[in-house]
Structures are given as structure tokens and as C-alpha cells.
Structure 1
Amino acid sequence: MNKMYHRRHVIKRGVSGLAGLAVFGLVGCESSNTTSTASATSGALNMLFWGSTTRDQLTKTTFDLFHKQNPAFTITSEYYGFDVYWNKLNELIARGNTPDLIQMDMRYIAQYVRQKRLLDLTEIIYNQSIDLSDFDPLLLSSSKVNNTVYGIPLGGNYPSLFYDTEAVNKSGIGQPPENMNWDDFSAYTTELTKGLGGSVYGTLDGSGELTNFELWVRQRGKELYTREGHINFRQEDVGDWYNYWSKLRDARGCLPYSIQKGFDSSGTPSDSSMIKGKTVFLITHSNLFEAYQNGAHAVSPTRKLGMIEPPTGGNGASPGLYLKPSLLLSISATTKYSQAAIKYTNFILNDVSAVKALGIERGIPGSTKATNLLKPQLSTVQQTIAEYVFRLSNSENKTSVKAVLDPPGGGQVADLLKSIAHDIAGGKRSVSDGTQTFYTQAKKIVGG
């Protein structure tokens, strides 16, 4: 685990070609992102993040540790499921209550940069107020907007496929095949539903998740967007995607909408159809494995989850997987606690107690020091996550660098994909109508 992300990726896979967002109209955004010289010397900071109760508990531990070293400052927080997080953040901004510390995602960050909501961390990193001296360059490059850092990756991950091992064993159809393609996944999940008597389904309906659709598109040799910020996939790609899941619903391989609509909206174990025993498989990010395993243990102490790679595009397909900043920690451009916010950011990246407290729940840290520090304390579940990321990071043909960042509006496209998917699954739209509607509206959102 010492070299969780090999530096060879930076050279071999062309990180230098990673497109910034200058072409998306962000160049010339006047920076209000300069650290205030009048930053308050005491007070209470607020942090907003999405995640599970596991994340909440670990994060609050770092607040207590930070307060012990910096008694003039306290940190409070609110957390939500990913499904409502961005609305909550926008509501706070609109009321003039922008959180001092903001958990950020690469699909959404460009719009907040355009709105000048986030602090430019370039000079802060340069003078090592936030010390990234041993930080993985691939992970840091993957977090830049307009070649500028507006958020520090708190970890890296890959999409993965979680499954309920007890349900698989109970089905009697054998273990999941290695390196399943999408057709294999369809056949296997359909057999799972049959083997489990039809009361548990092979997989949840993943048609509305942009992370899944991005895999599909990248496996066809394309990025979601062009370097100019326009749609780069074809209407045919969308139609094939929605049609795949429609056929899987008809075959009873995935959860029908009548049941699915009550689950899996928050992106956490609390409403997971897999944790609730309704489905066997879930495609999501590798860093969430610990939270979902905790959720499974809460239902039954002996219940165990497994994690394998998500479906591939089959023979001759391009790699769909890429190392993704699991999330970023950004600082408000208008916070009156800028120095304390910078200090906390550096604290959770470099302080021994904070690194140990956070572990790898937000992904494998980009710091070599942090990964080496965590290695001896990793639980069996955490080792599973680390080994998965390590194996893919050292793979010659299963991953490729994401060469184009999401433009402003990327988050709206994600929301649209989900909304149309729900309409199709619920019988409100046909696949063909949903496909055309999504493609047309997505092009309008990002300007072509």
C-alpha cells in the first residue's frame, strides 16, 4: 500500500493533457478568492457534507481533535444524503449562510467556481499552509478547475460492485464471475432473482446514476464531454443505456420501479435496497464499502458484503474505470474564518491523530505519509478497499485517466439522467421518448 497511486500514471496516461475548465468560460472569473488578512482569531466554523452516519461520526472526531489543539475555534456540521445535499447547499448560499467548509464533488465544482463561491487554494498550497508535498500528482491534477485547486481531494476511489454474499450463497447459482461484461451481469442478476425465489432481485435499477452511465460511455471510447464543454456521447449511447435497464427490468433482473422508488435515493446505507434485503448488487464508489458493511452488520452481525469490479464493455472495449477524487474539501471564498479553515484542512491531511481518525472512509488518501500511517491500523474491511484501489491503480488495461472534466451544468445533467430514468421505469415515458428528451435537454444544459 506504500504507493497506492503509482506516479507512472501521470506520465504514461497523460495527466498533463487533463483539460481545465478555461474553455468553459471560467477564465477571467475575477478572483475574490484571496485569503483575508483580517481573518477572525476565534469563533465557530460550520461544515456541510454528504454521507452516512459513519462519516458523520469520524468527521466529528476530527473536530474534537482540532479544538484541543486550537481551543479558540470550534467546528459544527450538518450532513445530508447526496440526493438533497446540493439543494441544501444552495439554500444556505442564497440565505447568506455559506458554510465555511464545504464538501465538494467534481461534477458540481465548476458551477461554484463560476459563482466565485470557493477559495482559490493555489498560493496556500504553494506556501505550504496546506502541505501537499508528498501528495499524489494524479489525484491532485484530477481535482483542478481551470488549472487551479479549489478543493483538496480527501481520498481517491474507483467505481465498484458491492454484493450481498449471503444472498449469493443462498441463491445456489455460484459466485459472481470475474470480469463480467454488461451482458454477463444481466444474465447473472436475472438468475439470482430466480434462485432467490423472486422475492429478492439481482440488482437495484442503476439506470439513473451518471457514474454508471459514464462507465458505459467511456467503455465505448468516449468521454462524457468535449474539451469545449459540450455533450460528447451520442443519442444512440443513451438509448442503448436506457434500453439495457428496461430489458433487465422486464427479465426481473433488477428491482421494479414500484419497489425501487422507495429505496436508494440518499446514496447511503440508510435507504439501500441491498442493505434492506431487496437486492443483491449495487454499483457505487469503493470508499463507501465500509459504511455499507457497517449497515449490513447492523442488520445481522454475521452478514458480509463482497466487492468486485463493475461490468466491463466486453472484448475490445475501452477501459471505463478512472481514479476519481472521492470528494473534495473546499473553503468558502467569503468565510471570516479563512485562516482557521485552512488550518483545519491541513490538519485533517497531515495530523497523525486526524489521519487515523478519518481512516479511508472518504477514500484512499493522496498523501504517501498518510497511507503509510494508516496501513497498520486497517481493518479487514478497509484492507479490502485498499487492495481494490491498489490493484486497479497498478492495472495496465483496466483504467484510463479521465481526460476532460465536467463543465458547469454537469450536476444538472446527472439530475436529468435520473429524472428521465425514473419516468421510463415508472411507465411515464417510453425508452425512445426518454432518450430523445434526455439527449436534447442535456445538450441545452451545457450549451450544445
Structure 2
Amino acid sequence: MNTHSPTSTSTPDPAPASGPAPAHVPAPQPTLQGPLTRRHLLGLGAATATTLGLAACGVSPQQTGQGSPEGTIRFAWWGNDSRQKIFTEFAGGFDGGTVKVEPSEYSGYGDRLSVQAAGKNLPDVLWMPANLALTYATRGALYDLGTLPEGTIDYSAFDPQVVESWKLGGKQYGPVYSQYSTCTQVDTTAMAAVGIQDLPDDESWTWDDLSTLAADYARAKGEGNWGIANQSTFYQHAHLWIRQQGAEVFTPDGKIGFDVDVLGSWFAWWQKATDAGGVMPTQISAGKTQWTQTGGKTALYLVQLNQFQDNASFSGENELQLVKSPVAAGAAPDYQFKYYTRLCSGANTTSPELAGQFINFSLNDPSNADVVGLASGIPSNPEIVAAIKAAADPTAMKILEMTDRIDEQPMRARPEPPVGGANWQTLVEKAGDDIFNGGVAIDAAVQEGIATLQAALDKG
């Protein structure tokens, strides 16, 4: 499933939940329902542009939504067509009330949330991207689920310390629904076809080993083929690189936790690997760097575990293997981390208990195993994971086994991105584009990106 798409644009911050009224009340914004794409956003016209502009300025328009009708809640999530069908079916199994579904492509999801938050019209239940949770909570856009009647959300299947760790600012705004880690995907069928049978030991291999393997495959396969596409703009993997250097994207107190040298070394690795012949040049990939776009011309891919089922389906008879991510020399041993998808409720909800009941259903109902499976990553509920594992096909078992291997490693805490922190994704994407398509020097591109990110943090 294409989830946190590494090549998508970053998501705007929401407007504060309260603030000075605008001098001129904008026209009511259109109701956003059904699948949302960039085309839909463009079609919203002046009303959307006005609202987004107010959100960017930190001004909250007057509320345009009055909540869902009694006994009805709105549920929003992101994903491709397959995931939209899966979660529409899943939501249909909730018998506590009527669920009005609002799926979206990931590329437009953040824009939709920003518009809805500005209009105080967020869905009753929504998936929250990892980079935005603290921003929405800080700005008062989310409902404090800890104020619901005791037992509305049953956390008995979860480790109490884990549940406590999900809190933002001491409040339970978004229990974690699913999670995923990053690793590397190898098309072993393609490798074997060119005589490469033995892969490096993934308990000890390095980024230099990956570069060598990519170049070896490209040479053996011949002209028009490469070991791997240029994934320098995939911010999740850049995040892993930063943590391997002993740094963080953000510090616990919300400051930038890396410098030009640390992030610059990420892009320098991609430049060196490209020069060695193993990486598909960006002029050829032209922004199409997902496995489903380059898998026929490459054999390696930096993957998110929640993408692997789609990738395996795309590759058909070719066998895909998951291996751990390469490790930088002298890497901090606790560099591994997870990205979360949280279940939140808009502060504007008029049906908080019903929303809480649906969140409880999403976290605990056994249909997660049968209907959803690993479509959104690894469920946070260990009982659901056990049920999936009991009936897992070979592809699902690869995901579960790799997750278990990663979980055996120590993991230091991953500080939540602060208000304005979603611009970290923009930094990586723009810097990579400037470097590999615009000819900008690595240090200059990264310096500019850090300055822009700092300005976003200062703005708050």
C-alpha cells in the first residue's frame, strides 16, 4: 500500500483552534467527502485558497462545520484504491452507529486536514500522519480521548507503558493504530539471473556494501539497468541515516537535531553511488522512484514495511527478500525507530463517545486480522498481530519476521516533530531535487533547507 509516500509534498500545518476572527468571514468551504486527489483540491477554488491562506497565517476562520448528525461519525484515512476498499469494508463492520467514510490519496490528505482544521470541521475519527500529530494537538485541533468515560477505549491488550508513551503533552490525543519500520528489499530472482547468488550478511552490511551490490548488478545486467533508483528524497530513510550518525531530526525540546554535515553525508552517499554506476540517474527516473515504477529496471529498493505487499504483488513471479537496512560505520546501536499512524478525533466532534467507540473498534476488533491484515503496517495490538501471524501467507510472514528482527534491536526514543516540523519532509525532498536535478552543491542545498525548516519552527 502506498502510505507515507516518500515522494509526496509535505503537509501544511493546521490553523490554531482558536484565535482572532478574520476581518472578513470567508464563504463557506465545500464539504470534503469521498476520495480526494490534487485535482479535487484545485477544483475547490477560491474558498479553499482563502482558508489555506488563513491557516498559513495562523488565523482561524469561523466554523463552517457543525459536526456529524447524531448517530453518525465521519472517518478519514489515506491510501491507494486497494486500501480505500479495505477500510471501507472494515468501517462497515462497526455496529455502533453510521460511519461516513472519507478516504484520500496520501498526496492530498494533509491539505484536506489543513482545510478542515481551519474550518473546525475535522472528521470525528481520522488517521494522523507521524509528522503532524504534535502540531495538531498543540494547536487544540484534537479531542482529548482521555476525557471519555472510562472503558470507552479498551487498552487492556496493550502494555501500559506503551499506551503512556503515546501521549502528547501528557494527554491521549492519538493512540497508535499501526506502525512500520524501514529496511531494504532485494529482488533475488533478478540478482540470480545475472549470477549474483550470495548477498551480504544483513547483520553487518554497510552502505558501501549496498553501493557495491547495486553497481555489480548494473554492470552484470547491462545498459539501461541499475541496481537501485535514486531514493535520496525518501525522508524516512534519511531519518534512519541521521539516527545512525547519533543525531536526531528533532531534539526532545523541539530543536533541529542534525547539522549540514550529517544530512549532507546522506546526499553525498547517493552522489558517490550514482558515480559508481549503481544508481539510476534522476534524469532517467524523472521523479518516478517507487518500486512499482522502477522495479523492472532495478533490483534493490529502500522499503517501508507497509509497502512490501504491494511491491511483492507488482513483482509477480520474482522473489523479493527483505533484509535489514545497511548500517553506517560506527553507528549508534539504538538507531532503529518506528513511524506511527495514530487514530485521532477532531476537537470539533459533536459525537465524542461514538468516535471513541469507533477508535476502540479500530484498535481491538478481530476483523482487523481478517479484513485489514497488514494493509496499513503492523497493528499496534499484539493480539491482532498474533491472529495475522497464525494465518499469514509467505509475503505477510516476511513482513512479520523482519519486524520481529528489528524489534530485537535497541531503539532510543524518537522525539515527535514540533509545530512546523512537517517541513522536515520538504527539506529532504527539495534538497534532493536541487542537488540531483538542479546542480546545487550539497552543502548549499542542505544549508538552505535547514534555514527554511528553522524559519517554520520559529513561526510555530
Q: TM-score range, shorter-chain basis?
A: 0.7 to 0.9
**Aligned-partner Cα distance in 2 for 1:279–1:331:** 41
2:293 corresponds to 1:273: yes
**Aligned-partner Cα distance in 1 for 2:321–2:163:** 29
Cα shift at 1:74: 3.0
Identify the residue that residue 285 of structure 2 maps to in structure 1.
260
Q: Give the paired residue count.
A: 394
Q: Secondary structure at the match of 1:103?
A: strand
RMSD value over aligned CA atoms? Answer: 2.7
Q: Name which of 231, 252, 257 aligns with 1:232.
A: 257
2:123 corresponds to 1:99: yes
Q: Secondary structure at the match of 1:233?
A: coil
Q: Secondary structure at the match of 1:273?
A: helix
Identify the residue that residue 367 of structure 1 maps to in structure 2.
381
Q: Secondary structure at the match of 2:152?
A: coil
Identify the residue that residue 171 of structure 1 maps to in structure 2.
194
Q: Name which of 145, 161, 170 aligns with 1:121.
A: 145
Cα shift at 1:117: 1.5
8 Å CA contact retained: 1:73, 1:340: no
Cα shift at 1:337: 3.3
Closer, same or farther: CA 120–295 of 1 in aligned 2, 3 Å = farther
1:68-83 equivalent positions in 2, closer than 5 A: 69-70=95-96, 72-81=97-106, 83=107
1:100-152 deviations in whole A, cap 9, x for unaligned?
A: 3221122211211122221112233x712111112145653553321322212
Q: Name which of 182, 185, 191 aligns with 2:207.
A: 182
Cα shift at 1:310: 0.9
The sequence identity of aligned pairs, in percent, is: 24
Q: TM-score, structure 1 length as denominator? A: 0.80
Identify the residue that residue 8 of structure 2 maps to in structure 1.
none
Cα shift at 1:439: 2.6
Cα shift at 1:422: 0.8
8 Å CA contact retained: 2:334, 2:412: no
**Aligned-partner Cα distance in 2 for 1:213–1:288:** 17
2:313 corresponds to 1:294: yes
**Aligned-partner Cα distance in 2 for 1:188–1:407:** 38
1:10-409 equivalent positions in 2, closer than 5 A: 40-43=69-72, 45-66=73-94, 69-70=95-96, 72-81=97-106, 83-94=107-118, 97-124=121-148, 127-137=150-160, 139-179=162-202, 180-264=205-289, 272-275=292-295, 277-297=296-316, 302-314=317-329, 316-319=330-333, 321-395=335-409, 399-409=410-420
Closer, same or farther: CA 232–427 of 1 in aligned 2, 3 Å = same
Closer, same or farther: CA 143–293 of 1 in aligned 2, 3 Å = farther
Give the gaps of 5 or more residues in structure 2. Answer: 1-15, 20-66
Q: Look up the equivalent residue of 2:456 and give its one-letter code.
A: I
Closer, same or farther: CA 231–342 of 1 in aligned 2, 3 Å = same
Identify the residue that residue 422 of structure 1 maps to in structure 2.
433
Identify the residue that residue 51 of structure 2 maps to in structure 1.
none
Identify the residue that residue 6 of structure 1 maps to in structure 2.
none
Q: Name which of 418, 424, 448 aligns with 1:437.
A: 448
**Aligned-partner Cα distance in 1 for 2:163–2:179:** 10
Cα shift at 1:324: 1.7
2:406 corresponds to 1:413: no
Report which structure shows greater RCO (CA 8 Å, sep ≥6): 1
**Aligned-partner Cα distance in 1 for 2:260–2:99:** 50
8 Å CA contact retained: 2:77, 2:103: yes
8 Å CA contact retained: 1:347, 1:354: no
Q: Secondary structure at the match of 2:248?
A: coil
Cα shift at 1:421: 0.7
